[in-house]
Amino acid sequence: MISFFKPTFKSVDEIIQMDEFKSQENQELFKKVFHKDHFFNPLNQGDNTSYRKFIVISTQRSGTNLLVNLLRSHSNVVCYTEIFKENNRPLWCFQKTDSKTYQLAQKYPVDYLNHYFFRNYSENVKAVGFKYMYNQLRTQKIKKVIQNFHKEQDLIIHLKRKNKLRAYLSLKLMEESKISDKLISENELGKFQNKKPSGIENFKPVYIKSDELKTYIETTYIAEKQHSELIKNQNHITVFYENLLKEMVKTANQIIINLGLPIEELTILNEKQNKYLLSESILNYAELKKEFAETEFASFFEE
């Protein structure tokens, strides 16, 4: 018999003291999201189990935060972030003492999902999902999770980024500058959309090793192919990050329609961070561009 543990959560007051919630504006914004999505939130408890399930499958720096925040801004959607963290690291809203819960997640992922996330909700909840990053579970485990989805009713969203160089650059910049996605309030959305290219805080161009870039691109393609194979017999949709940026409303509505939900005006909560050209962001850009010029990855270097 599987023994489940009730997680001990950080309070709202504890969470908003974290670096990403320093501003009063972001704290108020988080409280709205928290009270809608928080596990075991009394507002979300009820007798409703007839909602649709969904999963966003992707890799780092491919627009998952943008997409998840868009989806969770829909009044009928509950969307969690990464619930299968690597190395049993706790979710950011959990206390660190809950390691047993994460051991359970790795060993019995389907039971973990059904017990903690795909549970009873209030009647207004029509879709419940989460974000999964490549390799957070072993192949056989994620296969079981996917097979647990209803082939017609539930939805798997495979989010990809076409330009693997930009994805890797974003990863390197994040590592170098120690930044994460910034939350912006609804009244700042207009400013964001009309903003001219400008730098991010503490921005510094990075040096990229060609062999590490090549390895990243190739392993990402392999992971994409493996997961495409896993979901081919399920109800799924492939979304590209580039399309999401260019046609945000159209792309998001396509997903909402696939979930059988009414169209609503969705809210963006992320600001695109790096507004510099590739040649301004990569110290050895010219060298890399020349090296990859005769390869299938040459188009990634287009500004």
Could you tell me the domains of the chain?
Answer: 12-162+182-195+220-274 (3.40.50)
Is residue 271 pLDDT above 60, yes or no? no
pTM: 0.80
Cα(243)–Cα(301) distance, integer angstroms:
18
Question: How many CA atoms, within 13 angstroms, populate the side-chain half-sphere of residue 110?
Answer: 10
Q: What is the pLDDT of residues 61-95, one digit of tens each?
A: 998 988 988 898 898 998 888 888 765 454 544 54
Q: Does 274 have pLDDT greater than 90?
A: no
Measured CA to CA, the distance from residue 245 to residue 143 in angstroms comes to 30
Strands (E), the chain: 52-58, 77-82, 127-133, 155-160, 236-240
Has residue 200 got a pLDDT over 60? no
| Model confidence at 16: pLDDT above 90 | no
Bridge partners, residue 194, by sequence: none
In the sheet with 52-58, reading across from the earlier edge strand, the strands are 77-82, 127-133, 52-58, 155-160, 236-240
d(CA 243, CA 240): 5
Q: What is the pLDDT of residue 59?
A: 94
pLDDT at 278: 94
Q: How confident is the model at residue 40 (pLDDT cuts 50, 70, 90)?
A: very low
* Dist. CA 22–CA 16, nearest whole Å: 7
Residue 193 vs residue 58, higher pLDDT? 58
Reply yes or no on whether the pLDDT at 99 is more than 50.
Answer: yes
* Dist. CA 251–CA 243, nearest whole Å: 7
